[in-house]
Structure 1
C-alpha cells in the first residue's frame, strides 16, 4: 500500500513539474495584430540556398504563429514577435518570394511555390507571411475615375503579333477596357493607363502656341477614393510628361515641333515634395507619387500653330478650337496604335489640323477670312474635311471653331477701311430710311388718333341706344308680367269657386245618400216587425239606458196616486196583496 502511494505521489510530482515547466517557462502569448517568427535551435542543417526551414530543420521556420497562446521549449526554439502585414483599403500587396523553385527562363512572375514576384496580390486586410522569406510592397490599387476608362496592357506572356490584341497568356494591349471603379491587380503583371472618354479640345492661339484641354474628372463622394483617383491621375500625367520629354529630345535632333507640358516645373516640385514624405503604411515603402495641382491632368501646352498662305499670297494664322472625342469601343485600338492622349494629338490630331487647314485655307482669299460669310464657309469646310480625315482613326471631330483670324496689316487695313466705308454708307442710308419711316409713323399715329376719337364717339352713341333699348325692353317685360299675373289670379279664382261648388255638391250628395239609406233601413226593420208600432216600441226599448231599472207596484184597493204618499214600499202593489192573503 505504501508502495502504491509512493508511485502515485511520484507521478503527481512529475505531472506538476511538467505543468510548471510548460506554464512557467514554455508559454508565451501573441497579441492581436502580431505574429511570432520561430527559429529552431536544433535539427537538420539547411541545404545551400534554402532560407526558411521546414519542420525538423534548424533555422527560421517558414510557418509563423498567429495570435493566441503558444508553448515552445526555450532550449529548442526561439521566437520573435513581429507585426502582421496590414494592407489598408485601396491598396494591394505585391509579394516577392525569396523561397521556392526558380522560375523558368523568360518568366518573371511566380506561381505558388516558386521564387520571385507572385502573380497574385494580397488584398486589403491582415496577412501573416514570414518577413524573412517574403517581401511585401504595398502599392495603390487601380482606381478609375468616372469619365475615364483603363486600357490594360499585359506585361507577361508570349508577345502577341503586331496590330493584334493580346489574349489570355499573351503580352500586349488587351481589347477589353476597365470601366470606372476600383481594381486590385498586380502592377507587375498588368499596366493600366487612364484615358479620357468624352469631348477633349485642342485650342490653338495663333503664333503663341496652344494647349490640349482634357475633360475634367467628376468629384468622388469618398475622400479616400478621391485621393486615390488623384494619385492615379498624377501617375497618368507623369507618363505623359515622360513622353513629352522623349519628344523634346527628338525635337532637338530633328527640329520637329512637339508637345510641351505646361505643368513640367510644377510637377518636378511635386515630385521632390512627395519623395521627401515617408510612407508609413508599408514595411517595404513604395516610391511616393507626385502630387500635382488640381488642374494638372487637364491641360497640356502646344508650341504648334496654324499658319498658311491665302490664295492671293497673304500670310494667315488662326486662333481655333477643335473638339474631338474617342469612341469608347475603339479606345483600346487607339491606344495600341498611337499611344496616350499626347501621342494621339501629336501623331493624328495636330498633323491633320495643320494639313487640312493649309489645304482648305489656301483656296480662300485673305478678304474671305475677314468678311463674315467667307469665314463661316471656311469654318464649315474645315470641320467637314477634318472630321472625314480623322473618322477612319475612330476619332470623332464635333467642331472646328475659328475664334480669330490674324491677317497682315497690309491687307487688313484696306479691307477694314473699305468695310467701314461700306458700313458707313449703309448706316447713312438706314438713317434716311429711319427718318422717312419716322415721318410715316407720325402720320399714321395722327390717323390712328383721329380714328380713335371717332370710334369713341360712335361707341358712346351705341351705348346710349343700347341703354334706351334695354329700358324699353324692361318696361315691356314688366307690363307683360303684370298682365300674365292678373290672368293667373283670375284663373285661380275660377278654379277655387269651382272647387267650392263641387265640394258642396259632393257633401250634399253624401248626406242624401246616407239619410236615404238610413230611411231604407228603418223601412226594412218596420217591415220585419210587421207593425210600425211594434218597431217603434222596439226601437224605444233598444235606445233606453242599459242601467235603467223598472219596478211594477200593484196599488191594490184604493187609489195609487192618493195613497202613495202614506204607503211604504211594502204596502204598495203586490206586497199589499200578499199581506192580505196571509
Structure 2
C-alpha cells in the first residue's frame, strides 16, 4: 500500500469520524420530547405546483412535509430541513370527541358540508378517545363533549346531512331528518356537525298541572291541581318527537288539553259542594 493510498484512506476515515461524531450527532440530531411532534419544512426539492390545495407536501417537494415524527432522536440536515418541535400530541379524553378540520386537499363539492379524506373542511370522521400525532399545518382539532345517554333515557337521532326525508315522515338511512332507531343508554362518539341527539326520558313521568279550571254542575268555577302519570315507549319516541317536538310540547299540546277536557266533562257531573267533601273530591281525582 502506497503512502498516497494510506493518506486517502486516512482522510476518508477522518471525514467519516467527523461526519458521524460531530456533524450527524451534534448538528443533524433533533430530539423530540414525549408529547411533542416534529414538523419538517423542506428547503430543497421540487416546487409545490398547487400551494392552495397542498398546504403540506410529500417527501421531495419544498414546503411543510406531510409526515410528522414522534418522540425520540431523529437526524435531519439543517441545510435541507427546518425542524419545529413546538406542536404537541392531541389527546382526546374519555368523555370527548375530536372534530377534525382539514386545511389541505380539494375543495368541497357544491352542496357538501362534510369533508372526506383528501378534501378541505370539517371532516366526517371524528377522533375517539386516545392520543393522536397530527400535522398542525394540515389539521385543526376542536374538542366537543361526547354524546351521553343516561339510564332511563333514549337518544332521538337527527341526521343533519343528506337528502331530506319526506315531510312528516321519519328518515330512512342516509336521509336528513329524525331517524327511526334510537340510541340506548351509553356513550357515543358522533360528529355533532352530522348528527343531533336529543335525550328523552322514557318510562313513567309524573307532572302536576296547577289551577285547572272547569265549571261544576251548579255553575261554579272549580280550580284544582291535577297530578298525572304518563309515559313513552322507546319505540314510539322518534315518531312522537317528529310530530310534536319536545316532551314539553307533548305536555302542552296533548296532555294538558286532554286533562282539561276530561275535567270539564267529568267535573260537570259534580256540584261545588261535592268538591269540598273529601270522598267526592277523591273520587273525581281518581
TM norm. shorter chain > 0.5? yes
Give the corresponding residue for 2:42.
40
Superposed, 1:15-30 pairs within 5 Å as 15-19=16-20, 20-30=22-32
Give the corresponding residue for 1:67.
71
Secondary structure, aligned partner of 1:177: coil
Distance 1:168 1:111 in 2: 19
Query: Please, which runs of 5 or more residues in structure 1 have no aligned partner?
Result: 207-305, 381-582
Deviation of residue 374 (structure 1)?
A: 3.6
Distance 1:371 1:92 in 2: 60
Distance 1:376 1:52 in 2: 76
TM-score (norm 2): 0.92
Deviation of residue 373 (structure 1)?
A: 4.6
Match of 1:182 among 187, 193, 210: 187
Please list the CA deviations of residues 179-213 of structure 1 after superposition, one character each: whole Å capped at 9, or x if unmatched: 1111111111111111111221221232xxxxxxx
Give the corresponding residue for 1:92.
97
Deviation of residue 48 (structure 1)?
A: 4.2
More strand by share: 2
Please list the CA deviations of residues 41-87 of structure 1 after superposition, one character each: whole Å capped at 9, or x if unmatched: 23334324132223222222222111221111111111111211111
Superposed, 1:383-394 pairs within 5 Å as none
Deviation of residue 24 (structure 1)?
A: 1.5
Please list the CA deviations of residues 334-384 of structure 1 after superposition, one character each: whole Å capped at 9, or x if unmatched: 11111222111122111222222223323432233233454344334xxxx
Superposed, 1:233-382 pairs within 5 Å as 306-380=212-286
Secondary structure, aligned partner of 1:109: coil
Deviation of residue 26 (structure 1)?
A: 0.5
More helix by share: 1
Give the corresponding residue for 2:52.
49
Distance 1:111 1:363 in 2: 67
Distance 1:118 1:373 in 2: 65
**CA contact 2:32–2:70 (8 Å) conserved in 1:** yes
Give the corresponding residue for 2:140.
135
Q: How well do the aligned residues superpose, as a CA RMSD in angstroms?
A: 1.7
Query: Please, which runs of 5 or more residues in structure 2 have no aligned partner?
Result: none
Please list the CA deviations of residues 301-329 of structure 1 after superposition, one character each: whole Å capped at 9, or x if unmatched: xxxxx112222211111111011111122
Higher relative contact order (CA 8 A, sep 6+): 2
Give the corresponding residue for 1:109.
114
Please list the CA deviations of residues 215-252 of structure 1 after superposition, one character each: whole Å capped at 9, or x if unmatched: xxxxxxxxxxxxxxxxxxxxxxxxxxxxxxxxxxxxxx
Match of 2:83 among 76, 79, 84: 79
Give the corresponding residue for 2:7.
6
**Largest Rg, 1 or 2:** 1
Distance 1:378 1:204 in 2: 15
Aligned residues: 281
Secondary structure, aligned partner of 1:55: coil
